[in-house]
Amino acid sequence: MNIAANKVVSVHYTLTEGTADGQLVETTNGNQPLVFIYGIGMMIPDFEKNLAGLKSGDKFEFGIPAASAYGEYDETALVEVPKNIFETDGKIPDGLLEVGNMLPLTDQNGNHFQGMVAWVGLDKVKIDFNHPMAGVDLYFTGHVEAVRDADPSELAHGHVHGEGGHHH
């Protein structure tokens, strides 16, 4: 069975920066495979395009430029905010504002998002709202472990059930 729309795809992959010899970002080797429903918007579109038509056992190797992955790094997404907005009962929780920490944030409309602490000053903090992989070219190597039809409940829920997927 070939990878196509509405198929459940299981892949093992290694992701590195830029080239096959680039810095390791993550790997599924030795762990559970990545399992997703192809063609419903769960994955980076160029990731799916490069897997189209492959079948169980096929190997893959491809790059995705940053602009087609998580986007180019946007300097305007680096925002300086007053440090006191992080206070709870007049105090900033210990360890909260450390460079590299991901902070769950909520805007005035109740929308949830994340930002990374990029810099901490005496009265101000710079928060980086870029995706952590923004500006990074991606390089994937791996193989297709399995391809199967998604069942109607998986398609209705928008995710894989059972092994490697969501359990209700």
Bridge partners, residue 124, by sequence: 82
pLDDT tier at 62, thresholds 50, 70, 90: very high
Kindly give the pairing relationship between strand 138-149 and strand 59-64: antiparallel
- Say whether pLDDT at 168 is over 60: no
Q: Which residue has the higher pLDDT, 165 or 133?
A: 133
pLDDT mean over 109-116? 91
7-24 pLDDT tens trace: 999 999 999 999 999 999
pLDDT mean over 105-129? 93
pLDDT tier at 137, thresholds 50, 70, 90: very high
Report the candidate in 131, 128, 137 with the shortest Cα–Cα distance to residue 23: 137
Tell me the percentage of the chain whose pLDDT exceeds 70. 96
Q: What domains lie within the chain, and their CATH numbers?
A: 7-70+133-157 (3.10.50.40), 75-128 (2.40.10.330)
Report the candidate in 73, 127, 133 with the shortest Cα–Cα distance to residue 101: 127
pLDDT mean over 27-41? 95
pLDDT tier at 106, thresholds 50, 70, 90: confident
Distance CA 91, CA 100 (A): 20
